[in-house]
Amino acid sequence: MTVTRTPVVVFISGSGSNLHALLEDSRKPDCPFRVCAVVADVAAPGLAHAEAHGIPHHVVRLADFPDREAWNRELARVATSYAPTYLVLAGFMRLLGAPVLEAFPDKIINTHPALLPSFPGPHGVRDALAYGVKVSGVSVIMVDAGVDTGRIIAQEAVTVADDDTVETLHERIKERERPLLVSVLRSLCEQGVPAAP
């Protein structure tokens, strides 16, 4: 059976373990998506995963543009050139603006290492730990113009241990995050965006 694979572009800023999970899944015969390009805002270590899989990759640095609007226009131009159905923010640590959001309406998903709407922003794990929560987790959301305010598609809880550090908790969250992100993307490609509640 031939599977028609939905093209996706993945945005990263860091080590790219979520990207790696997506790339490994995309090698399976039944996988409904293919990663057609990876875009980073810095020379992210995770770009090595794209390199290893022979996937085109780009670094589009904010500092190389006169303002965020121009940077967003370039991000949109690069992403659009691959004609993806979905953008996946897999540890992309900057807020996207109108040029990208308008190019992919309701087609951008983000993964976040906390149970939104609690602890949005770039330090979700640190902030949850500092607050003293006993349960945290991971959220996969649709991206809107706010900071982690988009519609929640899926979540999984992770118990916080008394001796957890930011690193140990984040690592346990990521163990749940990678399969969740893969599963959400598979569902989106197979069934489309779930209806709003």
Positions marked catalytic: 112
Q: Which residue of 32, 84, 99, 113 would you call a contact of ligand GAR, by CB under 6 A?
A: 113
Question: Applying CB under 6 A, which part among 32-40, 52-60, 68-76, 89-97 lies near ligand GAR?
Answer: 89-97
Rounded Cα gap, residues 15 and 30, in angstroms: 26
CB 118 within 8 A of CB 157: no
Q: Which residue of 177, 185, 186, 189 would you call a contact of ligand GAR, by CB under 6 A?
A: 177
136 touches ligand GAR by CB under 6 A: no
CB 150 within 8 A of CB 144: yes
In sequence order, the 6+-apart residues with CB closer than 8 A to the CB of 60 are: 39, 40, 41, 71, 74, 75, 78
Angle at 15 between CA 9 and CA 16, to 5 degrees: 30
How many residues bind ligand GAR, per CB under 6 A? 17
Question: Applying CB under 6 A, which part among 8-16, 32-40, 68-76, 189-197 lies near ligand GAR?
Answer: 8-16
Q: Please report which residue ranges of the chain form alpha helices under DSSP H.
A: 17-26, 47-52, 68-80, 98-103, 124-131, 166-191
For 2, phi then psi, to 5°, come to: -90, 125
Report 35-64 residues binding ligand GAR (CB under 6 A). 46
In sequence order, the 6+-apart residues with CB closer than 8 A to the CB of 8 are: 22, 33, 34, 35, 36, 84, 85, 86, 87, 88, 185, 189
* Nearest CB to ligand GAR, comparing residues 75 and 90: 90
111 touches ligand GAR by CB under 6 A: yes
17 touches ligand GAR by CB under 6 A: yes
Question: Applying CB under 6 A, which part among 56-64, 78-86, 98-106, 108-116 lies near ligand GAR?
Answer: 108-116
- Smallest gap from Cβ 150 to ligand GAR, in A, equals 12
- Smallest gap from Cβ 2 to ligand GAR, in A, equals 30
- Smallest gap from Cβ 153 to ligand GAR, in A, equals 14
Q: Give burial (CB, 10 Å; 0-12/13-18/19+) of 2.
A: exposed
CB 21 within 8 A of CB 88: no
16 touches ligand GAR by CB under 6 A: yes
18 touches ligand GAR by CB under 6 A: yes
Which residues here bind ligand GAR, judged by CB under 6 A? 12, 14-18, 46, 90-91, 93, 111-113, 122, 124, 174, 177
